């Protein structure tokens, strides 16, 4: 939920096997049953052994330019799910790797798919601004929360009705606010990128249940809010 009839305290607010070539000494003659002065059996072993070793090593690798079958084996699927911040059954496990998502540009506040917006932006109500200043995402308690893009943390701590909150000044000079967290994992002055883990969702402050309040502001002060869904859409991120 957005704050009650007070302002926002948060405003103070990551070989081909080399063939064995054995040359004869000048003037030497091969012994019967040999080639180039070496027994044929020894020559065959010298040639085939490196090839066999190379084949065994290559068998454990992907050929260049190929990709594994879709989904991979169960162990790969479990590892992939964990890297994306979910357990095998889709339960939040740990935050996504920054390097795994930052390359994709801007991201959603949470990695979960098909997240429901339980309270949209702009609806009229008993708020100091007269309307809901952000959106509420219906996510389970403890869901990893991440920065949607590059910026610098300007506030991380308790923020009145917002509960535990994090505010980030984005590179485009807008401000993103994440409220009602159960914990934060960043500090003021820390630089973050798209996908950087900043905390976990919770039920702190003035709420009616666990969720994530995500807010975007044109300026740092309360009441300068803009539509978060449209803001993310301008950066190529679909939400809701």
Please identify every residue annotated as catalytic: 211
| Contact call for residues 183 and 210 (beta carbons, < 8 A) | no
Burial label, 57 (beta-carbon count in 10 A; 0-12, 13-18, 19+) = exposed
> What is the token pair recorded at 119?
């309270």
Query: In terms of Cα–Cα distance, which of 187, 188, 167 is closest to 176?
Result: 167
Tell me the sheet residues that pair with 135: 214
* 96 SS3 class: coil
The CB-side HSE value for 159 (13 A sphere, CA atoms) comes to: 29
Neighbours of 48 (CB within 10 A): 12
> What is the token pair recorded at 138?
């219906």
- Identify how many contiguous H helices and E strands the chain contains and give both numbers: 4, 12
Residue whose pair of structure tokens reads 């009145």 in the numeric block: 160
| Contact call for residues 194 and 14 (beta carbons, < 8 A) | no
Neighbours of 238 (CB within 10 A): 8
């Amino acid at each position: 939920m957005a704050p009650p009839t007070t302002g926002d305290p948060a405003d103070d607010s990551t070989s081909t096997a080399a063939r064995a070539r054995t040359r004869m000494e000048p003037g030497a003659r091969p012994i019967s049953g040999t080639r180039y002065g070496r027994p044929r059996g020894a020559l065959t072993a010298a040639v085939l052994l490196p090839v066999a070793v190379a084949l065994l090593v290559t068998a454990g690798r992907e050929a260049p330019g190929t990709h594994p079958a879709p989904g991979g084996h169960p162990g790969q699927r479990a590892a992939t799910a964990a890297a994306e911040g979910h357990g095998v059954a889709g339960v939040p496990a740990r935050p996504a790797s920054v390097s795994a998502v930052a390359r994709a540009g801007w991201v959603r506040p949470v990695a979960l798919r098909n997240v429901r917006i339980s309270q949209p932006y702009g609806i009229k109500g008993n708020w100091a601004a007269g309307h809901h200043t952000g959106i509420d995402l219906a996510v389970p308690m403890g869901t990893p929360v991440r920065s949607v893009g590059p910026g610098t943390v300007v506030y991380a701590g308790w923020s009145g009705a917002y509960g535990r909150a994090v505010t980030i000044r984005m590179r485009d000079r807008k401000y993103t606010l994440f409220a009602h967290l159960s914990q934060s994992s960043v500090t003021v002055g820390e630089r973050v990128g798209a996908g950087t883990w900043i905390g976990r969702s919770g039920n702190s402050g003035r709420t009616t249940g666990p969720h994530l309040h995500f807010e975007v502001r044109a300026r740092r002060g309360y009441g300068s809010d803009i539509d978060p869904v449209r803001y993310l859409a301008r950066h190529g991120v679909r939400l809701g």
